[in-house]
Structure 1
Amino acid sequence: MAPARCCVPGERLCSLEDCAPGYGTYCKHGYIFSSLSGYVVKKTDNGLMPVISVVRDTDSHLLPDVGAIVTCKVMSINPRFAKVQIMYLGTTALKNTFRGTIRKEDIRATEKDKVEVYKSFRPGDIVVAKVISLGDAQSNYLLTTAENELGVVVAHSEAGATMVPISWCEMQCPKTHMKEPRKVARVQPEFLQT
């Protein structure tokens, strides 16, 4: 009984003709769907129809859930959203990375119509965000940075230096002193390294 792959709630696993539903699943329209975030396990007993289940092992409780604070890396941006790779849940590294999306309207809490994605994030930035939706098998986790504590925490300038935040919307390169726009996170004291 080895974990086969990760799944999220609502993901279609297989047909009822292929397997019997087990723990962490539900049936709808002749198919078996996952009701949990976890690992898909297929088990056959005595030559009977295999039972498909979704389980959480000791590490899989580290799957992002709605309301969780995550740390992610910006992979690409376009005028409507930023695509990210979720690497940490809280301060714990995830076994598997997950894809996420930060939509233009979820970047800031105010003046949402004036937000420009390229002035908030750049590919390579490290961002602290909150999960607002789990998505499904075809889409990503939906994330938000619309709180003061959320946003870019690490960014590199074109000169390759780690930039320093100078306001909630700008970071500065210590080498060239060039300023670049970002949606900067106000890091809470408990997350600062001593």
Structure 2
Amino acid sequence: MKDTPSYEAVTPGQRLGYAQEYIAGNGTYERDGLLYASVVGIRHITTPENKDQLPIISVSKEKEQSAVPDVGNLITGKIIRVNPHQATVAIMVVGNVPCKEDFTGAIRTQDVRAAEKDKVKIYNSFRPGDIIKAEVISLGDSRSYFLSTAKNELGVIFATSVAGATMIPISWQEMQCPKTKTIEYRKCAKPV
């Protein structure tokens, strides 16, 4: 089968052709001998290898849906701001699907780790620019999702030191700069 790109944008209900000339494919339907688009998208005509078969007409959606965070999803994000009460995260990936839209999340002090929640200092757990793995625990408020790094496998997965080198985790709460050997505090993700 050969796909002939026609790049014609169509809308639901738009007439595409006659049922005796084409086979209705994905995104189309037949009514009274006519074929119509059932979704917004681009019209495609696929020509079969066998000359006895009719070409297939289909409509594919213009763009796939963006990933949207939901409770229980694991996300990968970048710390964009920290204050004494929470770290603000730009959510970049949900599961394994990149986000096309901008979503923000917040990691509150009580959601950083499972034990000794009252002793958590956000600045000793995250710094702006850190890449983290976290879990969505609540849809939060109108501004951001609430995230948690309380599980061992969640936390900072990539950080750069003041010297600009990629830091190496040396414990669950410390990372070391390979250049200067300086140790900085982070809530490190345990490698899986």
Fold shared per TM-score above 0.5: yes
Which residue of the partner structure matches residue 110 of structure 1?
A: 115
2:173 to 161, 169, 174: 169
In 2: Cα distance, 1:70 partner to 1:97 partner = 13
1:127 to 118, 125, 132: 132
TM-superposed CA distance for 1:187, in Å, is: 2.2
In 2: Cα distance, 1:152 partner to 1:111 partner = 18
Which residue of the partner structure matches residue 27 of structure 2?
A: none
Specify the SS of the correspondent of 1:82.
strand
Residue pairs, 1:9-20, within 5 angstroms: none
In 2: Cα distance, 1:178 partner to 1:93 partner = 33
Which residue of the partner structure matches residue 7 of structure 1?
A: none
TM-superposed CA distance for 1:179, in Å, is: 0.3
Identical residues among aligned pairs (%): 55
Task: Indicate whether 1:93 and 2:85 are aligned.
Answer: no
Count of aligned pairs: 132
TM-superposed CA distance for 1:113, in Å, is: 0.5
1:150 to 140, 154, 176: 154
Which residue of the partner structure matches residue 74 of structure 1?
A: 79
Moved more, 87-96 or 67-76: 87-96
In 1: Cα distance, 2:96 partner to 2:183 partner = 29
TM-superposed CA distance for 1:94, in Å, is: 1.0
1:59 to 65, 69, 75: 65
TM-superposed CA distance for 1:99, in Å, is: 0.7
In 2: Cα distance, 1:186 partner to 1:75 partner = 22
The alignment's C-alpha RMSD in Å is 1.6
In 1: Cα distance, 2:126 partner to 2:104 partner = 16
What TM-score does the superposition give when structure 1 sets the normalisation length?
Answer: 0.65
Task: Indicate whether 1:186 and 2:185 are aligned.
Answer: no
Structure 1 gap ranges (5+): 3-56, 189-194
Which residue of the partner structure matches residue 159 of structure 1?
A: 163
TM-superposed CA distance for 1:168, in Å, is: 0.3
Please give the per-residue CA displacement for 1:29-69, whole angstroms capped at 9, x wherever unaligned: xxxxxxxxxxxxxxxxxxxxxxxxxxxx7423x21100000
In 2: Cα distance, 1:92 partner to 1:75 partner = 20
In 2: Cα distance, 1:154 partner to 1:95 partner = 22
Greater strand share, 1 or 2? Answer: 2
In 2: Cα distance, 1:94 partner to 1:187 partner = 24
Specify the SS of the correspondent of 1:118.
helix
TM-superposed CA distance for 1:81, in Å, is: 0.3
For the pair shown, the structure with the greater C-alpha radius of gyration is 2
Aligned amino acid, residue 126 of structure 1: I
In 2: Cα distance, 1:173 partner to 1:93 partner = 29
In 2: Cα distance, 1:97 partner to 1:87 partner = 8
Specify the SS of the correspondent of 1:132.
strand
